[in-house]
Amino acid sequence: MGVEIESDIWEPNPALYIFLFVCCCLSIFYLPARATASNVFDHASSASFLRFQRNFLVLFALSSVLEGSRAVFGEYEFAIYKLTKDQMVNTLCIGYAASVLAGSFLGVVSDLLGHKKVVLLFCILHLCTSVWKIVVGAQVIWLGTITLSVASLIFSFSFEALMVVEHNKLGQRQDSLNDMFWLMTFFECACFVGSQAIGNYLINGDVNKNITNIWKESVVVALLIIVHLSRSWKENPKSASFKDYSVLFRRHVVGDKRVWLLSWVQACIHFSTAAFWILWAPTIVADGREVSLGLLYPCLLGFKMLGCTGFPWMSHGPLATRIEEYLMYAFVVIGVALTVVAYDYQEIEFLLIIFCLLHACIGLVLPSLARLRSVCVPNEIRGGMMSLSLVPANAAVFVMLLLRGYYQCIGNSTILAIAALGQFSAAWCMYTMKKWGKQLHLSEHSL
């Protein structure tokens, strides 16, 4: 008599999704008095700013759906096309190498030529890649990896730079800019979850047959963004020359130690996030555990949404404190979480708690760093500073993929440990900026 052994696939409790939804709704509804839901979308009753705010959030939401489709299903295509492990590693390495090369100049180009043009390039890259995949299929996977990696790089800096520049042109106060920072993180996560839901609907249970529906969706969304961007934005041509730009860059970036610290912090959080998303699945399915990873993805993004709503409370709410101070503790928590994941085997439930805590902290960190950049970095060089700060992070991921994938010199735990060390160093950077801020305040008070 044969015995059939059933294998249970672990899934999160459905009550967790209800809990996340209720918490996110409450966090929006009970924002601090200066950042209530009505005030967030009605600053100083300025019709021009309100129109800009809504147009930008529509643009950013559509772009997040486009980027989310790539983030959710991009690497899954490797398995569909039956790529070997070495081919997958090679593809990822090519993508990060392209990001390193493009990051060294794309931000500068964005500052000189205009952020709208670079955002338009983001849409064109997605559009062309999706059309190529529909027509050619698997033969274009290498080229698609390069173009989509460059598009992801643009997504990481150009939309924020565009929003800040246009915001300042309208002469709005700082409170409205702070709200836009956390709203961008909130909308990004919500649209990533929406991309997963749309993708699952389009695939309809048959990945091999319906995978082209994902690319067709990307074509439609990219065309909508191009039309919206062309009709809603009229960007003035840049008048600054490269010589003037380089002088301004050296004066504010090279000569300001705060910018160096912010660049390092940005690189650390980018590297840690990239390392996590590459290794989270192998970590949670260790020892042959079967887990429904698609159900964990929205949980992580939900906690990131919840974390970003803490920014109004920490910046100008009842819990208001210095940004450097609470960021210092947030980086320590992220570092401890990565250390636990790296060196301590845990059950799935505990790992999920650690992952959710980590993403809640990241959700708080991202708008806070954007706020610090607004204080320390002039808008004229914001894109260049952000893209250049991502170069060492992408280069580090590239090296880690080579050492782990090809040469088997290091393990997953070592990569996560390096990411944890980066977070502890980011906490030290925040401590240093906090100390410098206190010294500057005391010197001004003595004068």
Residue 389 DSSP SS3: helix
Residue 10 DSSP SS3: strand
Give the domain ranges of the chain. Answer: 45-239, 240-447
Percent of the chain residues topping a pLDDT of 90: 40
Nearest alpha-carbon partner for 171 in 57, 316, 35, 43 = 43
Q: Round to whole Å and give the CA distance between 170 and 74.
A: 38
Assess contact for 299 and 323: CB atoms under 8 A.
no
Q: Round to whole Å and give the CA distance between 396 and 270.
A: 10
38, pLDDT greater than 70 = no
The residues facing 291 across adjacent strands are: 10
Query: pLDDT of 341-362, one tens digit each?
Result: 888 767 888 889 999 999 999 9
Residue 407 DSSP SS3: coil
78, pLDDT greater than 70 = yes
Query: pLDDT of 83-93, one tens digit each?
Result: 777 888 888 89
For domain 240-447, say whether CATH 1.20.1250.20 is its number. Answer: yes
* Residue 239's pLDDT band (cuts 50, 70, 90): low
Query: pLDDT of 294-340, one tens digit each?
Result: 889 999 999 999 999 989 888 776 667 889 999 999 999 999 999 99
- CB burial string 354-379: b at 16+ within 10 A, e below: bbbbbbbbbbbbbbbbbbbbbebbbb
Q: Hunting for tokens 């989270």 — which residue is that? A: 280
Token code pair at residue 376: 């320390």
Query: pLDDT of 170-189, one tens digit each?
Result: 777 777 788 899 999 999 99
Please name the fold of domain 45-239: Growth Hormone; Chain: A; (1.20.1250)
Domains 45-239 and 240-447 share a fold: yes
CA 132 to chain centre: 26
Assess contact for 78 and 383: CB atoms under 8 A.
no
Q: Hunting for tokens 């705010």 — which residue is that? A: 53
Is the torsion defined by CA of 14, 15, 21, 24 positive or negative?
negative
Q: Round to whole Å and give the CA distance between 142 and 406.
A: 18
Average pLDDT, integer, range 230-235:
76
Q: Hunting for tokens 């991921």 — which residue is that? A: 397
pLDDT at 307: 93
Assess contact for 319 and 27: CB atoms under 8 A.
no
The residues facing 10 across adjacent strands are: 291
pLDDT at 444: 37
pLDDT at 446: 39
